[in-house]
Amino acid sequence: MEIKPMIRNNICLNAHPEGCALNVKKQIEYTKKNLKIDAQQNAAKLAPKLALVVGCSNGYGLASRICAGFGYGSVTVGLSFENEPSEKRSGTPGFYNNAVFDLEAEKEGLVSISLNGDAYSDEMKTKTIDAVRQAAAKAGIPAKIDLFIYSLASPARTDPKTGVLYKSVIKPIGTAFSGKTLNMMDGTFSTAKAEPATEEEIFNTVKVMGGEDWELWMDSLDSEGLFSANTCTLAYTYIGPELSWDIYKNGTIGKAKEDLERACCDINKKFSGKIRGAWVSVNKALVTRSSAVIPIIPFYISCLFKVMKEMGLHEGCIEQIVRLYRDRLYLMDVPVDSENRIRIDDWEMREDVQKAVTERMKIVTPENVFEETDIAGFKNDFLEVHGFLNSV
Ligand code: NAD
């Protein structure tokens, strides 16, 4: 059956199972070539034997799971929230990605369990804990999680204690935002406008995308005795260039990410001496299902990719996470910035890269957008995330 992408306002409504499979396999191959325990002495001591990835089916979470499993040979338990296919609709890409991950893991003799459900709920926390024990028993190893990745990108969260549903918004704080945005499908520009968020919207966004649920996960896993002195936990954030700060870093999402950093600090205090540590890693801007809907970001990324490809510095999710594990997390002393964050956005934020991107953004017009930006690369990556590759 021929499946064509159905795209509305930079959101893709369907997915191609075969393309999703190819995408996952490509990431596995890259990992096998570039991430090995024997390549690093420290990794041999610290590398995870059992990893839990919450938000495992796409983007940074998927890459994190692939690297733990296929790079370090870890047992992996993954949780995500995806739609199964029905007679009328295809499933979401993550549904197919998880199925392929489990199949490929089995071929390599790696134990993996994928769960589908709401990570914010108490019910899924309990089911995940059961799955961790089950996976450890199957692999014949102790039920101790040495790597816990928290990589959710969600528009809504029901608080498990109160039952209240909170929705996140992408809005500026204080003053209205107006910025150039790019339709990746046809190269047309429009102006994206957003009114400042209300106090309630800021609060709600922090509830969804802040650190509270990460802390709840830590408490649940700890109360079941699933941590060891080797346990590392990571959550991801983005900072980006100043031109995006009004809508991102200084906006509602930025407030939520500030709360994620607050949670990281509190986790480190609470679990001091009990686990190896908690970190927030600042990652590069990439095309995932979430990033294409943030105003200004598609235009910025199209220019960024052009510049980084020209400089030979371009990376996707899998390259980022390989470098994150190999050159940061699994060094004996994890290199961090002044705020205790891991920086794997270092190449994106390099002065020469940012200068070239700013220059590039100034000269782009609707007439030269296909030559002067990598809008083709943006579109390609966006379609690829949904399984629509050139070859399928
Ligand atoms: P993504 O959309 O590709 O993946 C999100 C994951 O969360 C999926 O596995 C999805 O199933 C899961 N999920 C969503 N709601 C859930 C729920 N209620 N229960 C269980 N699972 C749920 O997202 P991404 O772009 O990889 O983002 C992951 C993290 O990385 C986010 O914190 C994001 O802010 C951060 N980040 C992203 C970028 C970027 O450019 N994409 C850059 C830096 C940091």
Q: What is the CATH number of domain 7-385?
A: 3.40.50.720
> Mean of the pLDDT values across residues 75-85?
97
Q: Is the pLDDT of residue 142 over 80?
A: yes
Q: Is the pLDDT of residue 124 over 80?
A: yes
pLDDT, tens digit (0-9, with 9 covering 90-100), for 220-234: 999 999 999 999 999
Among 81, 83, 152, say which to mutate for ligand 1: greatest number of ligand atoms within 8 Å of CB. Answer: 152
pLDDT score recorded for residue 266: 98
Is 300 tagged catalytic? Answer: no
* Residue 385 alpha carbon to ligand 1 centre in Å: 13
**Which residue has the CA at smallest separation from atom 34 of ligand 1?**
237
Token pair in block for residue 279: 């970190």
Q: Is the pLDDT of residue 130 over 90?
A: yes
pLDDT score recorded for residue 68: 98
Residue 93 to residue 297: CA distance in whole angstroms: 22
Residue 250 to residue 179: CA distance in whole angstroms: 15
Q: Is the pLDDT of residue 2 over 70?
A: no
Q: Is the pLDDT of residue 391 over 70?
A: no
Band of residue 39 on the pLDDT scale cut at 50, 70, 90:
low
Q: Counting beta carbons within 10 angstroms of the beta carbon of residue 391, is it exposed (0 to 12), middle (13 to 18) or buried (19 or more)? A: exposed
pLDDT, tens digit (0-9, with 9 covering 90-100), for 333-353: 999 999 999 999 999 999 999
Band of residue 147 on the pLDDT scale cut at 50, 70, 90:
very high
pLDDT score recorded for residue 291: 72
**Which residue has the CA at smallest separation from atom 6 of ligand 1?**
55
- Average of per-residue pLDDT values in the chain: 94
**Which residue has the CA at smallest separation from atom 36 of ligand 1?**
237
> Mean of the pLDDT values across residues 251-274?
97
Ligand 1 atom showing the smallest separation from residue 238 Cα: 43
State the catalytic residue, choosing from 166, 236, 248, 325: 248
* Residue 288 alpha carbon to ligand 1 centre in Å: 8
pLDDT score recorded for residue 179: 85
* Residue 60 alpha carbon to ligand 1 centre in Å: 7
Q: Is the pLDDT of residue 389 over 80?
A: no
Ligand 1 atom showing the smallest separation from residue 82 Cα: 11
pLDDT, tens digit (0-9, with 9 covering 90-100), for 268-320: 999 999 999 999 999 999 987 677 778 888 899 999 999 999 999 999 999 99
Show the ligand 1 pocket: residues with CB < 6 angstroms. Answer: 55-61, 79-82, 94, 118-120, 151-154, 236-238, 283, 285-286, 288-291
Residue 356 to residue 360: CA distance in whole angstroms: 6
pLDDT, tens digit (0-9, with 9 covering 90-100), for 313-325: 999 999 999 999 9
Residue 170 to residue 107: CA distance in whole angstroms: 41
Ligand 1 atom showing the smallest separation from residue 317 Cα: 26
Residues sharing a CB contact under 8 Å with residue 343, sequence separation 6 or more, in sequence order: 281, 282, 335, 336, 337, 349
**Which residue has the CA at smallest separation from atom 5 of ligand 1?**
153
Name which residue leads in pLDDT, 235 or 190: 235
Q: Is the pLDDT of residue 165 over 80?
A: yes
Nearest alpha-carbon partner for 234 in 301, 295, 320, 313: 320
pLDDT score recorded for residue 8: 78
Among 27, 65, 80, 378, say which to mutate for ligand 1: greatest number of ligand atoms within 8 Å of CB. Answer: 80
Nearest alpha-carbon partner for 57 in 75, 72, 76, 74: 76
Among 20, 236, 259, 300, say which to mutate for ligand 1: greatest number of ligand atoms within 8 Å of CB. Answer: 236
Tell me, what amino acid is at 164? V
Token pair in block for residue 107: 């071929």
Ligand 1 atom showing the smallest separation from residue 301 Cα: 40
Residues sharing a CB contact under 8 Å with residue 267, sequence separation 6 or more, in sequence order: 214, 215, 218, 233, 278
Q: Where are the chain's structural domains?
A: 7-385
Tell me, what amino acid is at 304? L
pLDDT score recorded for residue 392: 44
* Residue 130 alpha carbon to ligand 1 centre in Å: 23
Helix/strand/coil (H, E, C) string of the chain? CCCCCCEECCEECCCCHHHHHHHHHHHHHHHHHHCCHHHCHHHHHHCCCEEEEECCCCHHHHHHHHHHHHHHCCEEEEEECCCCCCCCCCCCHHHHHHHHHHHHHHHCCCCEEEEECCCCCHHHHHHHHHHHHHHHHHHCCCCCEEEEEECCCCCEEECCCCCCEEECCCCCCCCCEEEEEECCCCCCEEEEEECCCCHHHHHHHHHHHCCHHHHHHHHHHHHCCCEEEEEEEEEEECCCCHHHCCCCCCCHHHHHHHHHHHHHHHHHHHCCCCCCEEEEEECCCCCCCCHHHCCCHHHHHHHHHHHHHHCCCCCCHHHHHHHHHHHHHCCCCCCCCCCCCEECCCCCCCHHHHHHHHHHHHHCCCCCHHHHCCHHHHHHHHHHHCCCCCCC
Token pair in block for residue 311: 């400089």
pLDDT score recorded for residue 9: 73
* Residue 80 alpha carbon to ligand 1 centre in Å: 9
**Model pTM?**
0.96
